Chains A and B, each alone.
Chain A
Amino acid sequence: MLSDAAVQRIQEIVKEYPNTKSALVPALYVAQRDAGGWLPREAMVEVAEELDLPESHVYSVATFYSMFYLKPIGENVIQVCTTSPCGLRGANEIVDCFKKRLGVGLNETTADGKFTLMEVECLAACNVAPMAQINEDYYVNITEERVDEIVTMLGRGEKPPYAEFAQNLKGAHPIAFTDAELGIDVSGIKPADPVVKKEKPAEAAPTEAK
């Protein structure tokens, strides 16, 4: 089930750690991307095999963290932060706007499978509240008009111009991507000059006690 590219990326990540277990969370992101946005049981089993871990451990970790989805989810996942600081600035009203625009309630997916609406806890962006995480991007200072625009554009498969990533990562975590896929190219950067070690002035030899 895991594609060769996914297995290759997992093996690349494993090299960064002294054991395979540490690579589990990144590997689950790779598997989730590979499976199209959620983690089917078979994908978890293959991650367990790939990392030589008990299946039960993989499942226990996958169920602990909120960013892994164990059931199919909408193409676009809209997560509005409603924790107190956002709540003070109209986050709940924005949730209502999304509900109305999409015709779904919280934790529900639209009939066409395009959108899932959720409420999440603090995303550390209280300065730009109300805000939401939608797929791989933060959308900040959301207004009622923006709700309509965001839904319309994402529904057409376009990214609103104020999204953080120019690329469409389809909601997958960037750790699941190679440098080349993310467009990270440092071939034009030349090494810096080496440092010249300055010897510390030798400490004065202790004078012999008389």
Chain B
Amino acid sequence: MAYEDEPKIIHQHINVPDIKKIDVYEAHDGYQAWRKALSEMSGDDVLNEVKASGLAGRGGAWFPTGMKWSFMPKPVFPKYLVCNCDESEPGTFSNREIVIKHPHILLEGFMLGCYAIGCNHGYIYVRGEFMQGYATLRRALAEARARGYVGKNVLGSGFDLEITLHVGAGAYICGEETALLSSLEGDRGQPRLKPPFPAVEGLYAKPTSVNNVETLSNVPFIIGQGAAAFRQWGTEKAPGMKIVSVSGHVNKPGNYEVPVGTSIRKILEEYAGGVLGGKGIKVFFPGGSSTPMLTPDKLDTPLDPQSITAAGSILGTAGLCIFDEDVDVVKVTHRLLRFYKHESCGKCTPCREGNDWLVAILNRLAQGRGKDGDADLLVDMATNIAGRSFCLLGDAAATPVLSSIKNFREDYEKHITNPIEEKVFIPLTSGNGH
């Protein structure tokens, strides 16, 4: 079946002209789930339906959404729902398409989420660079308010709901949920220690759930059609659909919403039109640049969290980036690490200093001036960043280094043209021990 004819959830109406306008959205069953929830369901009913659907966090962590919501202590007020629209993981671009083309589906899902957890004032954190996305959401929110879907006593139900659009100002780290909350509170976007987890002490030290754009945009379908309808797709452990962002050396880069568990090869060949110029693949990452690189022998892996983990990587955001056979893996890693070095927030030493050193060594390798033992040195440093930094950014930075050396150590050796006996940089520690 052609991709266009396959069933979809979020993308079902995404290409309908003017779907970003409220009357067009309503003509395509928009806000019916919101009306249904307000008229015949309690907040707990909504939460239980989401729990039963098995929806898990589409921002990359794949944590069960219903369970996340149920962790919030009931008797504490106020509570907050915060939508993470700070999409900035290299190779990931599904949220941006939703907010610029289909803002009401996100708003409806956000409203349902607020109702489920008993939040009367929610915040949508929109990445600073998404100026068009912000403006689109702002217009859509004004329309929703005019219709009475937001505000005091929503549609006469007795439920009050305010929604505020907040904006970032350029910092990858703000996609990390506690850094996002710091940023929303008007501080530098630096992560916080967990515990306490946001469900207990989040925004303004109140119970908070932070959910991704795509996660929330699935909720109107789940409430409108029921958990069983959602479960008709996907795997037992990860039901539903996932929007896969395909980029890099492919003929038709783009977002493809497919049942969780669809094989990577099918997405690549049938939907994304195969590799540019019919070339072979050197390497790909399946879930954003922070997930370990895989080699083409893993192309038949089903795209679900469990199978990708078994294949040696992480599904993450399902940002699938393809690198053709002609790429230089060392240069690819070098460029990726420049990203992490730039985006390290500077709070903890392993990530701030470690990334700087990783880039310094990759710099000389990329220029063909590597020294004997550089690959081992990189591994040593990367293993001392991973697991020892304050948040996962450090682990993310170590990932391309470790996975590329694991798969392509011989490529690193090719960049050593100036082998010397003594090591210029002496590792501060050896091995993994504390």
Cβ–Cβ contact B321 & A84, under 8 A = yes
Cβ–Cβ contact A24 & B186, under 8 A = yes
Cβ–Cβ contact A173 & B90, under 8 A = no
Interface segment among A94-102, A104-112, A117-125, A151-159: the answer is A117-125
Query: Which chain A residue lies CB-closest to B42?
Result: A200
Cβ–Cβ contact A22 & B172, under 8 A = no
Query: Which chain A residue lies CB-closest to B40?
Result: A198
Q: A1 contacts which chain B residues (CB < 8 A)?
A: none
Cβ–Cβ contact B248 & A25, under 8 A = no
Interface size on A, residues (CB 8 A): 62
A residues 119-175 touching B (CB-CB < 8 Å): 121-129, 133, 136-138, 164-165, 169, 173-175
| B332 interface residue per 8 A CB criterion | yes
Interface size on B, residues (CB 8 A): 74
Cβ–Cβ contact B248 & A89, under 8 A = yes
Q: Chain A at the B interface: mostly helix, strand, loop or mixed?
A: loop
When the two chains form the complex, which single residue of B127, B146, B167 contacts A191, counting CB atoms closer than 8 Å?
B146
Query: How far, in whole Å, are A66 and B345 apart by their CA atoms in the complex?
Result: 12
Query: Which chain B residue lies CB-closest to A28?
Result: B169
Q: Chain B at the A interface: mostly helix, strand, loop or mixed?
A: mixed
A residues 165-204 touching B (CB-CB < 8 Å): 165, 169, 173-175, 179, 182, 184, 186, 189-198, 200
Cβ–Cβ contact A66 & B170, under 8 A = yes
What 0/1 readout, one digit per residue, does chain B (160-180) give for beta carbons within 8 Å of chain A?
000011111111100000000
Cβ–Cβ contact B147 & A65, under 8 A = no
Cβ–Cβ contact B247 & A173, under 8 A = no
Query: How far, in whole Å, are A103 and B363 apart by their CA atoms in the complex?
Result: 26
| B35 interface residue per 8 A CB criterion | yes
Query: How far, in whole Å, are A175 and B137 apart by their CA atoms in the complex?
Result: 11
| A40 interface residue per 8 A CB criterion | no
Cβ–Cβ contact A127 & B339, under 8 A = no
What 0/1 readout, one digit per residue, does chain A (1-31) give for beta carbons within 8 Å of chain B?
0000000000000001111111111101100
* Closest CB in chain B relative to A111 CB, distance in Å: 27
Which 9 residue pairs across A and B have the least CB separation, nearest first?
A: A194-B156, A66-B170, A65-B169, A21-B186, A126-B247, A24-B186, A189-B146, A67-B170, A195-B39
Residue pairs across A and B with Cβ atoms less than 8 A apart, 10 shown, are A21-B186, A29-B167, A29-B169, A67-B170, A124-B92, A126-B245, A127-B253, A128-B253, A129-B247, A197-B38
